[in-house]
A and B are shown apart, each in its own frame.
Chain A
């Protein structure tokens, strides 16, 4: 190890403030639309009503934690069907893989909540404090009444948006109109207020002050994504061969040697991540494509072809540098990798839809009591006990006959509150726990056998729908 320098470089740096300039263009327009749609989905979904009959909530999307149900329009998920949620998460994961391998960090650039809310916060900032140059001036200005007024106004608007963000979240977990009334009447549960405040605080800090720091230092996704991108991935890139050597002095001597890039810094000034796309692909780039819009605007003005900065694959850049034609977009997008992701994604999707269609609205689980394994009765008969959980997934009360099938002679006796002659009524949308005795008379083979296979059934008296579970009868053997 060599001697330490006299003043060692700092191992920590302050955040470099970023003042993204306003930009116009097709990607900016697309991003406005996506922002509007995603925010609308987030804020409005809990308010959509969906009639499920008198016994069930009429909120289209509801996570009922207390009742342990998840309602999604016509679908109702019980805790034992959590595999649907797992399947959806796997699909979301594969979907991200697909989009990342085809289009790079398109999720980050367009739809990630951090990006959408930051975009919204920057919009507010621009309304109140002005565009880039005004904001830079304000940043450098000494504190004055004017500066305080602008800052406080901006923070208040930010905080109101943040409050609405946290406020919308809680509506997914309770009946929205009721909760909204309670919230304003200050009679909502404490957990609702604390959730709103925590989410408001994180939205305020992440969207207002942390911004790209969240992507660069807190989010694991940018690091993972590198593993999913390859030379065919379409991502925001600078046409080096066309732009370099860059230079401003179009009329100066040797100007004809210069490339198309006039070094106007438009691409840098609009970048919300504060980077220079001309340095090549880098971790901080969220591929928001605003630099494409900014550069196209400039190219148009100076009469050069658009697309100095463009969606480009690494392999294209190489090809173009050598004067070859780039491959068409569809060849980049359609390759074994993306086809495999699509196939896997669709497979799980089809499996989930299939599972959704074949799923029964009765569910039965059987838990054999094994302490003790069996009970001998005074006449020498052997009795086993089973705990049945009968789930009625419909909105009506249902009457079930409890039965058993076995190759040996066994008798069934349902011992449960309100059970009449082995019939039980399970209320709508509820689970009934019933104790069931299965008895082998002393002369029957099952009494002396070690185990006997049997199947317990519940059958809807009206519709004949049934559900069965295989279990075992323990004899004295």
Chain B
């Protein structure tokens, strides 16, 4: 068959000349443009790897002739968005939150942006849903109980200056004594029974009666005469259903014996003015704002 075209009898088609065990391969040639298209894609692919970052080197990769970088592109996009938002950002930074109309674009911008600020900076302690972590004493920001106040001004102050930190002289500050050094174990037990009674939980009435005397002597200065709490000193209400660290007997004994000392950073030192206001607006509309 050497030189001649070998024609298959059945189909009348050329063969490629290849034969395996008597089976011949028919030659149905591809259109040539297809081949050129394939070469075209190869050339395009190679050119692409030269124009754009592609080839791996030992410590990095080729940068590409066009100097493209996805990081630079993101940075540029962020800069563009920042520029678009510049006016709203400035409006928000200089706004008085107490008089800002909820329909004001700056207000909507603040709530939306505040959600991002919260997720990036606050959710590590307060949780992504802002429900706090009771076991660690990070307060729930969704409910209607506020240690230091839930108005826009109070929230803004707390965010800006933080709580019991060493870095901001204006930080909210108070300190509960560790009653393990002051009370005997029995007295602590009696006080806890009285605290349980304040929130209507099961308690030992006789012990609570003793505890009431101790409570009046030692606790009302901060927690109020009926355990309603005093916000000026961040002392939580003890007569409601919400507990910062837990309201069961065991946790209360621990709290009274060793005290608690929750700390929050002063975000005024870390966030921009508009970010503080944004996160304040966001927190205020989560369901507990006053």
Q: Interface residues, chain A, CB within 8 Å of chain B?
A: 1-15, 210, 213, 216-217, 369, 371-372, 375-380, 383, 385, 415, 417-418, 437, 442
| B287 close to A8 (CB less than 8 A) | no
| A1 close to B18 (CB less than 8 A) | yes
Among A2, A6, A7, chain B packs the most CB atoms within 10 A around the CB of A2
| A378 close to B240 (CB less than 8 A) | yes
| B19 close to A1 (CB less than 8 A) | yes
Residues of B within 8 A of A380 (CB): 240-241
| A213 close to B128 (CB less than 8 A) | no
Pull 30 A–B residue pairs with CB atoms less than 8 Å apart, ordered by A.
A4-B17, A4-B18, A5-B1, A5-B3, A5-B4, A7-B3, A9-B14, A9-B16, A11-B29, A11-B30, A12-B32, A12-B34, A14-B32, A15-B31, A15-B33, A213-B33, A369-B129, A372-B127, A372-B131, A375-B131, A375-B143, A376-B241, A377-B143, A377-B145, A377-B242, A378-B241, A379-B241, A385-B142, A417-B103, A417-B108
A415 and B108 CA atoms in complex are apart in Å by 14
Beyond A5-B2, A10-B29, is A378–B237 a contact (Cβ under 8 Å)? yes
Residues of B within 8 A of A383 (CB): 143, 287
Check if B269 is an interface residue, CB within 8 A of chain A. Answer: no
| A378 close to B143 (CB less than 8 A) | yes
A4 and B18 CA atoms in complex are apart in Å by 7
A125 and B102 CA atoms in complex are apart in Å by 67
Consensus secondary structure, chain A interface = loop
Say which residue of A2, A213, A379, A437 sits within 8 Å of B19 (CB atoms).
Answer: A2
A60 and B252 CA atoms in complex are apart in Å by 70
A452 and B276 CA atoms in complex are apart in Å by 38
| A377 close to B3 (CB less than 8 A) | no
A460 and B240 CA atoms in complex are apart in Å by 39
Say which residue of A1, A6, A10, A385 sits within 8 Å of B20 (CB atoms).
Answer: A1
| B129 close to A372 (CB less than 8 A) | yes
| B33 close to A2 (CB less than 8 A) | no
A417 and B34 CA atoms in complex are apart in Å by 60
Cβ distance B198 to chain A, nearest Cβ, rounded Å: 13
| A371 close to B129 (CB less than 8 A) | yes
A7 and B4 CA atoms in complex are apart in Å by 9
| B2 close to A379 (CB less than 8 A) | no
Check if B89 is an interface residue, CB within 8 A of chain A. Answer: no
Residues of A within 8 A of B128 (CB): 371
Check if B69 is an interface residue, CB within 8 A of chain A. Answer: no
Cβ distance A418 to chain B, nearest Cβ, rounded Å: 7
Check if B27 is an interface residue, CB within 8 A of chain A. Answer: yes
A418 and B101 CA atoms in complex are apart in Å by 11
A415 and B2 CA atoms in complex are apart in Å by 88
Residues of A within 8 A of B191 (CB): none
* Chain B contact residue count (CB 8 A cutoff): 39
Chain A residue, CB-CB nearest to B24 = A2
Say which residue of A9, A15, A372, A415 sits within 8 Å of B27 (CB atoms).
Answer: A9
| A217 close to B2 (CB less than 8 A) | no
Residues of A within 8 A of B3 (CB): 5-7
Chain A residue, CB-CB nearest to B14 = A9
| B241 close to A371 (CB less than 8 A) | no
| A377 close to B32 (CB less than 8 A) | no
Binary contact track B113-150/A, C-beta < 8 Å → 1, others 0: 00000000000000111010000000010111100000
Residues of A within 8 A of B27 (CB): 9, 11
Residues of A within 8 A of B35 (CB): 12
* Chain B stretch 2-27: residues in CB contact (< 8 A) with chain A: 2-6, 14-20, 27
A383 and B145 CA atoms in complex are apart in Å by 14
| B32 close to A13 (CB less than 8 A) | yes
Residues of A within 8 A of B127 (CB): 371-372
A214 and B148 CA atoms in complex are apart in Å by 74
Residues of A within 8 A of B103 (CB): 417-418
| A379 close to B287 (CB less than 8 A) | no
Residues of A within 8 A of B29 (CB): 9-13
* Chain B stretch 173-208: residues in CB contact (< 8 A) with chain A: none
Residues of B within 8 A of A378 (CB): 143-145, 237, 240-242
| B30 close to A437 (CB less than 8 A) | no
A415 and B288 CA atoms in complex are apart in Å by 11
Residues of B within 8 A of A11 (CB): 16, 27, 29-30
Residues of A within 8 A of B34 (CB): 12, 217
Among B27, B29, B287, chain A packs the most CB atoms within 10 A around the CB of B287
Residues of B within 8 A of A2 (CB): 1, 17-19
A245 and B56 CA atoms in complex are apart in Å by 68
Cβ distance A234 to chain B, nearest Cβ, rounded Å: 26
Beyond A12-B30, A371-B131, is A376–B242 a contact (Cβ under 8 Å)? yes
Residues of A within 8 A of B31 (CB): 12-15, 213, 216-217
Chain B residue, CB-CB nearest to A12 = B32
Cβ distance A31 to chain B, nearest Cβ, rounded Å: 26
Kindly list the 5 A-B residue pairs having the minimum CB-CB distance in the complex, ordered from nearest: A371-B129, A372-B131, A380-B241, A378-B240, A13-B29
A369 and B15 CA atoms in complex are apart in Å by 68
A3 and B16 CA atoms in complex are apart in Å by 11
Cβ distance A8 to chain B, nearest Cβ, rounded Å: 6
A132 and B34 CA atoms in complex are apart in Å by 27
Chain B residue, CB-CB nearest to A14 = B32
Cβ distance B285 to chain A, nearest Cβ, rounded Å: 8
Cβ distance B1 to chain A, nearest Cβ, rounded Å: 6
* Chain B stretch 200-235: residues in CB contact (< 8 A) with chain A: none
A219 and B6 CA atoms in complex are apart in Å by 30
A7 and B5 CA atoms in complex are apart in Å by 9
Cβ distance A54 to chain B, nearest Cβ, rounded Å: 23
Say which residue of B5, B16, B18, B287 sits within 8 Å of A437 (CB atoms).
Answer: B287
Residues of B within 8 A of A377 (CB): 143-145, 241-242
Residues of B within 8 A of A14 (CB): 31-32
Residues of B within 8 A of A3 (CB): 2
Chain B residue, CB-CB nearest to A376 = B241
Cβ distance B4 to chain A, nearest Cβ, rounded Å: 8
